[in-house]
Structure 1
Amino acid sequence: MDFSPALNNVLQTVNRWRQDDCYPLFPVITETGDTTARIRLASGSERPVTVFASADYLSLSRLEQVRQEVIAAVERFGTGAYATQAVGGFTTLHQELEKTVASYFGKPAALLFPTGMQANIGALATLARAGDTVLTDHLNHGSITMGVRLTGAHMVTFRHNNPRHLNELLNRAAGPGRRIVVVDGLFSADGDLATLDEIADVARNHGAVLVVDEAHSAGPLGATGRGAAEQLGVLDRVDVITGTFSKAFASTGGFVCASEQVVDALRHTAVAYLLSLGLPPAAVGASLAAFKVLEKEGDERRERLARNARYLREQLREEGVDIAGSAAHVVVVLVGSVDRTARVTRRLRDEGLLVGPLFPPAVPIGGARLRLGVTAAHTEEELRRAVRLIPRALAEEPA
């Protein structure tokens, strides 16, 4: 089969990695420990691996309480949704989780999606229409861009975390159409937070709708875990919150929180919602259990996560590692070329440290990097070991 030049280039790179025995992707997990921070891989080695490629930030997915509620949900409702949610796949568990999510974020209503990606696509493709202008941060997640492109609206990109540029673009976008500003709360490929306090001011001054994707920030950030918007004091000024259960909430799936009118519109018209089966009961049960755990243990788990993340950032900087603007529990390590990043990733894996490589187009050409996901379960010794191994791997793999 003939492929495009871009796809051929990807396949050639993959083949080169395999030939050089440094293929860094799709590690096969054979066993997890008491948390997802410690696993075993199908690599022929019995050595346990410490995971810094996980998004189980608050370390909930292996908890006994969560697993028991998963079992109870399956025993009550079976393993899957019965049909599309509008006609046969909406259970009382789904209904309870929607109410829980809405209450958690202090919004009137919430809607569940099969994935966080579909939540972004569904929300943006429904809220925006031809004649509207959607203003999106240059480094927003790809699912946001995909959602906007489906709308027929005019998409304008503003410079990363630059409220002044956003203000200029909003001035130019004056007209009859709706204006929607969309940002990530925590940028997952760069590790920095959105300047939401300033962005919210700009959006309000222009009467623009503000949408924030809290996928990586909901749970870990904010005084009560409501995300970057809460941490920066603007939660009440965010019109639409999107997010996922696959990071801090021990499961999978996505959600949208907004007014009852917005949620009702999404429920009845969002193609990403209506044309897909709903979340399996097990996933819903897991997330419900996660919210219950966080009611009792959220503060302690967030404090432990923040302490671990701060230690890793500070120690890597002291070792001369470039972690760019990393400001929370997503810590990026800039490496450079895709081949060097692949070699560093495999070297670290072979030494018992699993990290996440990021390659173009997820990051700029020449900006390949490692993404380290810190969790509340990491021990001080595991963090110290990461600080030893990462600078050494970078030093031993030439640019």
Structure 2
Amino acid sequence: KEVLVLLSFCFVIFGAEAWPQKKEIIEEAEKVVDVVESCSSNRLILVGLGLGVLALVLWVIDRFTRPKFYDLKSKHVVITGGSKGIGKAVALQVAGQGADVTLMARNKEALQAAQAEIISQSGKNTGQKVEIESVDLAENFEKVQASIDSAVKKVGKPVDVLINCAGMSVPGTFEDVDIAVFENLMRVNYLGSVYPTRAVVPSMKRQGCGGRIVFVSSQAGQLGVFGFSAYSPTKFAIVGLAQVLSMELKPHDIHVTVAYPPDTDTPGFKEENKGKPEETCLISETSGLFQPDQVAADIVSGLQRGAFTAYTGLDGWLLAHLTAGMGPCSSLFEGIAQVAYMSLFRFISFFFLASFDQIISKCKQRRDVKAKNE
């Protein structure tokens, strides 16, 4: 009632000049002033009440505008790069929620081993299907389309969820990396996600009951890192594709998620470390090393919530807000957080960048001293 009195008082004051019965208006205004003055000792209560009402309204808007939680039970989930690493960890988690799973990768033996592990952990009597498709995802679109069609026949239902996990990294400074590596990484990391996505989108639209598409980028797809001149641009390209598809597919209730994993303890990461420049190793170590299960859990959570961005760890949270830019916003509160934190996180980023520059400078000094002594 006190809030309504305040609003009425403002309305009367601003409308007084246009109202002929000024005497009556003044009398009413005086009554309102008396009531307001009697409530002056409770201003904090009024402020608290107003903030509470605002928070409630924002919460209601957020709940009704964010995507509905996506239940994976009995859904057909296709995972590229599902034979090992993050892809296999994701497969184990979605299978644990009752999804039918198709794993796609090149190495048939690794696929069969992953298939056996998933079946043993999800249970043999659940009626779930775990299928495999051996295919080079970067070779050409027709072969990928044929593999998707084969998976649909094996499982007996169209693809509901596509998770693009396939990818690789070849570190090295710009001048040291062969041009063929740049071309190959663009085929594997970018086209290797374009082809399967193109293969499933038409059927997802025809189903008319929504779907999910996940692109696994990298924290190196949020900022350029020393030694990733061939790798980083391919992951940035995936983000651009995801933003476009998010706009195009949203009217069809198909939600797109981009995951930005940090360094993850996988066979691919161990192989990558063999050729990493010293600077790249030291910069990467500042974010720590995460386990595949944790990263996979964040990816699955993101796709089920319909979030555009899925991240892991404190640095991942900071980067997600800092690099949001004009990307899609999944909820009202997420947008408010991005606006609130952007300036602060940009300020913090200066210290990160300064520390990276210091690492690079020290490494160069050590090399110069070593070369001088030889």
Q: TM-score range by the shorter chain?
A: 0.3 to 0.5
TM-score by length of 2: 0.34
Answer with 1 or 2: which has the greater Rg: 2
Larger strand fraction of residues: 1
TM-score by length of 1: 0.32
Name the structure, 1 or 2, with higher relative contact order (CA <8 Å, separation 6+).
1
Larger helix fraction of residues: 2
